Structure 1
Amino acid sequence: MIGIIGIVVIFVMVFGGYVAAGGKMGIIMHSLPFELAMIGGAAVGSFLLSNDMSAVKHTLKDIGKVFKGPAWKPADYRDLLCLLFELIRVARANPVALEEHIENPEGSAIFARYPRIAKDHEAVDLICDTMRAAAMNYDDPHQVEEVLDKRMETHGHHAMHSSHALQNVADALPALGIVAAVLGVIKTMGSIDQPPEILGKMIGGALVGTFLGVFLAYGIVGPFAARVRTVVEEDGHFYALIREVLVANLHRHPANICIEVGRQNTPHHVRPSFADLEDALRTLKQEAA
């Protein structure tokens, strides 16, 4: 919702201010389709030229994050801590019993209790692969921790590609606007014998290209890129929480301490309260008993 509000504010303030100052929308509206076709078409073409199809699909999908916001809500962080607590408790009590959960998470009763997390392949794979590696390398927990760090770094780099791709388009738009404006000037010079009132409209139409390129770059595409980056970073805290808890588990801290380490390393605005988490864990213990 806030993304839509932001777009509305941009258009109202820019064009509303222009009209309030005595500007006429007629010249802009007359030139807009042609300038938009040139600038927008060139921007789309450069975007396709600089990215492969996988990156294009990924970027188009991530644009929705501008309006949807972060995928993970505060309740999801609490559920994640509960899920990790259950898995760690099973691993400590009976390592063999853990295998059925990490080898087949789709059929795991533990994962089934947290459907939103179970649908996220990256989160599930991160948990299962790390706990599997830990089971094979308990003599060297730092090795597992290093592999985990590199994996998260790779995932973060890939997740940021959409933001970088959009920012590249935003950086190119002002120059593409100048290209459209120059073409408008060339057109105007071809009609130099026309009266001033006609030439004035033609020059005004040419300047629409410069305006449109700068407006789209700094008013729309650039903020889109920044918002996607912010949302990706926000969602990255979810996977960082998995890292913190599993690293604590690698060092054989008690299960409750592992969960508390993860809770305290969660950003404040999505961090479950100590009492709320304790109630959730107490319920799990009672169900297990």
Structure 2
Amino acid sequence: MLGSIGIGVIFVMVFGGYLLAGGKLAIIMKSLPFELMMIGGAAVGAFLVSNDSHVLKQTGKDIGKVFKGPKWSPADYRDLLCLLFELIRLARSNPVGLEEHIEAPQTSSIFSRYPKICTDHEAIDLICDTFRAASMNYDDPHQVEEVLDKRMETNRHHALHSSHALQSMADALPALGIVAAVLGVIKTMASIDQPPEVLGKMIGGALVGTFLGVFLAYGIVGPFANKVRAVVEEDDHFYQLIREVLVANLHQHPANICIEVGRQNTPHTLRPSFSDIETALRSLKQDAA
């Protein structure tokens, strides 16, 4: 919603201010299709040259994040803490019984209680792989912790590919706008024998290229890149919570303490309250009784 509102504000303020100042849209609209073809086409072509098919698909999906926002809500963080609590409690009371859940989470009675989390394969794999590694009796829990850190850093790096690609496009657009403007000037110079009113319109049309390149860079594509990065970084807190809880479990802290460690390390805008977690965990204990 905010993404759509922001784009609307950009167009209304820029073109509204231009019209109120006495500008005329006719010259912009006449040149826009050709300038957009040159600038937009060159930007898309450069994007295709500099990225592989995986980044192209990921960027297409990530653009939706500009309008949808982060994937996880405070309720999802509460559900994640409840899921981890159930798994930790089972791992300590019945390690053999845990295996059926981490080896086949898609059919697990525990995981099935949290359908939204189950749709995120990376979150599920992160949980299951860490419990599996813990069952291998590592001499030092820091070994598993180091593996977790490297894995999360790699995932974060890949998740930010589309943001970097969009930012590269935004950086190139002003220069491409100048290219289009120079071509417009070349066209104008070829018609130097025309009267001033004709040359004025041709020069104005050439300058539309410079305007369009800067406008798209700083008004559209650049903000899109920043928003995608912000959403990726906020969603990364979800995986960071998994890390914090499971590392605390590796150090053999009580299950309730492990959950509280994860809750405390969640940003306050996403952090479920202590009472909410207590109520949810109490309900789980009653169901298991």
TM-score, normalised via structure 2 length: 1.00
What are the within-5 Å matches in structure 2 for residues 92-241 of structure 1? 92-241=92-241
Deviation at 1:139, TM superposition (A): 2.2
- The equivalent of 2:274 in structure 1 is 274
- The equivalent of 1:265 in structure 2 is 265
Letter matched to residue 184 of structure 2: G
Q: State how far apart, in whole Å, the 2-side matches of 1:137 and 1:125 are.
A: 19
What are the within-5 Å matches in structure 2 for residues 4-153 of structure 1? 4-153=4-153
Query: 3-state DSSP class of the match of 1:201?
Result: helix
Query: 3-state DSSP class of the match of 2:22?
Result: coil
Runs of 4+ aligned residues of structure 1 deviating over 4 Å after TM superposition are: none
Q: State how far apart, in whole Å, the 1-side matches of 2:236 and 2:124 are.
A: 14
Q: Deviations over 1:139-168 (max 9, x none)?
A: 221100000000000000000001000000
Alignment size in residue pairs: 289
Query: 3-state DSSP class of the match of 2:269?
Result: helix
Q: Deviations over 1:26-61 (max 9, x none)?
A: 000000000000000000000000001111000111
Q: Deviations over 1:207-253 (max 9, x none)?
A: 00000000000000000000000000000000000000000000000
Query: 3-state DSSP class of the match of 2:126?
Result: helix
- The equivalent of 1:253 in structure 2 is 253
Q: State how far apart, in whole Å, the 1-side matches of 2:288 and 2:209 are.
A: 67
Q: State how far apart, in whole Å, the 2-side matches of 1:146 and 1:137 are.
A: 15
Q: State how far apart, in whole Å, the 2-side matches of 1:130 and 1:215 are.
A: 47
For the aligned residues, what is the CA RMSD?
Answer: 0.5
Q: State how far apart, in whole Å, the 1-side matches of 2:53 and 2:159 are.
A: 15
What 5-or-longer segments of structure 2 have no aligned partner?
A: none
Letter matched to residue 283 of structure 1: S
TM-score, normalised via structure 1 length: 1.00
Q: State how far apart, in whole Å, the 2-side matches of 1:38 and 1:111 are.
A: 51
Q: State how far apart, in whole Å, the 1-side matches of 2:102 and 2:139 are.
A: 20
Identity over the aligned pairs, expressed in percent? 82
Q: State how far apart, in whole Å, the 2-side matches of 1:244 and 1:131 are.
A: 13
Deviation at 1:138, TM superposition (A): 3.9
Q: Deviations over 1:104-128 (max 9, x none)?
A: 0001000000000011000000000
Letter matched to residue 58 of structure 2: H
Give yes or no for contact 1:181–1:208 (8 Å, CA) kept in 2: yes
Q: State how far apart, in whole Å, the 1-side matches of 2:135 and 2:14 are.
A: 59
Q: State how far apart, in whole Å, the 2-side matches of 1:140 and 1:100 are.
A: 25
Query: 3-state DSSP class of the match of 1:112?
Result: helix
- The equivalent of 2:286 in structure 1 is 286
What 5-or-longer segments of structure 1 have no aligned partner?
A: none
Q: State how far apart, in whole Å, the 2-side matches of 1:184 and 1:269 are.
A: 50
Q: State how far apart, in whole Å, the 2-side matches of 1:58 and 1:2 are.
A: 22
Q: State how far apart, in whole Å, the 1-side matches of 2:246 and 2:137 are.
A: 13
